[in-house]
Amino acid sequence: MALSTDEIRTQVTALGPWFHNLDLNGVMTAPDHFLGDYPRAKWNRFCHALPQDLCGRSVLDIGCNAGFYSLEMKRRGAARVVGIDFDKAYLRQARFAAAICGLDVEFRNMSVYDVASLGERFDIVLFMGVLYHLRHPLLALDLIREHVVGGSMLFQCMLRGSMQVEPIPADADFFDRRPFDRADYPKLHFIEHRYAHDPTNWWTPNRACVEAMLRSSGFEITSHPEDDVYLCRCAGAPAGEGAVYPARGR
Ligand SMILES: C[S@@+](CC[C@H](N)C(=O)[O-])C[C@H]1O[C@@H](n2cnc3c(N)ncnc32)[C@H](O)[C@@H]1O
């Protein structure tokens, strides 16, 4: 799409506000982001975790927002990149950004809870910055593992509370309440109203919790390139019993 700088700026303003600070031919979409040059500055800290050459690979970007990571995957030569988000305003930004950059990404209006309807597994699934926005985070992880991860999953989550990870007893007596008082016990903090002025935040785990949630959903953590970023692959069926997804009898 050949637009002048002024035309791009006008469109960027009309499509705003932006969460991703993208460089669209010199026009920055969110230059005053509270996290700085986001997510470029963050990506620079863990971009080595994925292959530089993604030729022939397929990528699914869940909660793609304005498409920063989708565009980066395409720049690395991925054969097929699908970005999904349940927010149509963000998808309009993503489609505009891809057009300006001349990159072919398929953006679809879809919730993470509907990934089964894609009917396809992807070599790389990006699930970045979404888990804490979900009312049903474990269901989302279970669905992603069951239906769309064909290789690895790059995962990121806002973490709060203890960053310590120590061995936790696999079981305790009913009358023993002490494990729960440990700061490093896996804890998922529920946000009833808002956090960081954002009413779309529902849960924020501590580090032990996010790692346990990934394992419990059947993921093996293969690397941990940044504090809150994990590279995972599928490792057998999800652990645990009871009313798990997919349902299985005793
Ligand atoms: C904090 S942003 C993260 C964007 C991007 N993945 C990143 O890491 O920079 C969260 C994104 O998840 C999207 N989102 C929230 N709930 C979703 C859901 N149920 N299904 C799909 N996307 C969702 C939001 O619309 C938003 O674009």
Total count of residues recorded for the chain: 250
CATH superfamily, region 53-162+175-241: Vaccinia Virus protein VP39 (3.40.50.150)
Domain boundaries, the chain: 53-162+175-241
Ligand 1 pocket, residue 129 CB under 6 Å: yes
**Secondary structure of 16-46 as H, E, C letters:** CCCCCCCEECCEECCCCCCCCCCCHHHHHHH
Checking if the pLDDT of 220 tops 70, the result is: yes
Over residues 145-171, the pLDDT tens digits come to 999 999 999 999 999 999 999 998 889
Nearest CA to ligand 1 atom 23: 63
Nearest CA to ligand 1 atom 10: 130
Give the pLDDT confidence score for residue 241 in this predicted structure: 73
Q: Rounded to 5 degrees, what angle do the CA atoms 45, 32, 92 make?
A: 85
Give the pLDDT confidence score for residue 92 in this predicted structure: 98
Residue from 209, 200, 205, 201 nearest 189 by CA: 205
The alpha carbon of 43 and the centre of ligand 1 are apart by a number of angstroms equal to 16
- Select the more confidently predicted residue: 241 or 150: 150
Checking if the pLDDT of 200 tops 90, the result is: yes
Take residue 113 and report the two structure tokens written for it: 């809870």
Cβ atoms 226, 46 nearer than 8 A: yes
Over residues 80-113, the pLDDT tens digits come to 999 999 999 999 999 999 999 999 999 999 999 9
Take residue 55 and report the two structure tokens written for it: 């030729």
